[in-house]
Amino acid sequence: AQSVTQPDIHITVSEGASLELRCNYSYGATPYLFWYVQSPGQGLQLLLKYFSGDTLVQGIKGFEAEFKRSQSSFNLRKPSVHWSDAAEYFCAVGPHSTDSWGKLQFGAGTQVVVTP
């Protein structure tokens, strides 16, 4: 079965420190990959996406992610976190077949806490 795993439920990081959030997927082929952020009371906002091509993708708010086919991973990174980065982060995969192009499958999320 297809799956998306975010191994870290909760991460605490100091302001100014680097951040890496892990995402592993299980799919039959290379899916479309996404990272979303959800702040309290807000809708999900797309940080970045990977469809094909360069495996290092840049997103908004200074985030980047690297697709590693050999590890079935799409980890999210930020070199220096700001207090406003405290939120929940979701990795998601899109379909690679024609049975349902609308469906996104999300991981369980990683809650990021930023300390002063």
Partner 1 sequence: GAGVSQSPRYKVAKRGQDVALRCDPISGHVSLFWYQQALGQGPEFLTYFQNEAQLDKSGLPSDRFFAERPEGSVSTLKIQRTQQEDSAVYLCASSLAVSKSSYNEQFFGPGTRLTVL
- Binders of partner 1 among residues 47 to 76 (CB under 8 A) are 49, 51
- Binders of partner 1 among residues 94 to 113 (CB under 8 A) are 94, 98, 100-109
The only residue of 46, 56, 60, 113 in contact with partner 1, by rule CB under 8 A: 46
Ramachandran angles phi, psi of 103, nearest 5°: -85, 125
Could you give the maximum distance between any two Cα atoms of the chain, in Å? 47
Give the per-residue contact string, 15-44, with partner 1 (x = CB under 8 A; - = no): -----------------x---x----xxxx
The vertex-45 CA angle with 40 and 46, nearest 5°, equals: 150
Does position 10 bind partner 1 by CB under 8 A? Answer: no
Tell me the C-alpha distance between 24 and 7, whole Å: 8
Tell me the C-alpha distance between 92 and 101, whole Å: 14
Does position 116 bind partner 1 by CB under 8 A? Answer: no
Q: Per-residue b/e over 14-27, b at no fewer than 16 CB within 10 Å?
A: eeeeebebbbbbeb
Instruction: Tell me the closest approach of the beta carbon of residue 116 to partner 1, in angstroms.
Output: 26
Query: Judged by CB, which is closer to partner 1: 51, or 83?
Result: 51
Q: Write out the residues near partner 1 by the rule CB under 8 A.
A: 4, 32, 36, 41-46, 49, 51, 90, 92, 94, 98, 100-109
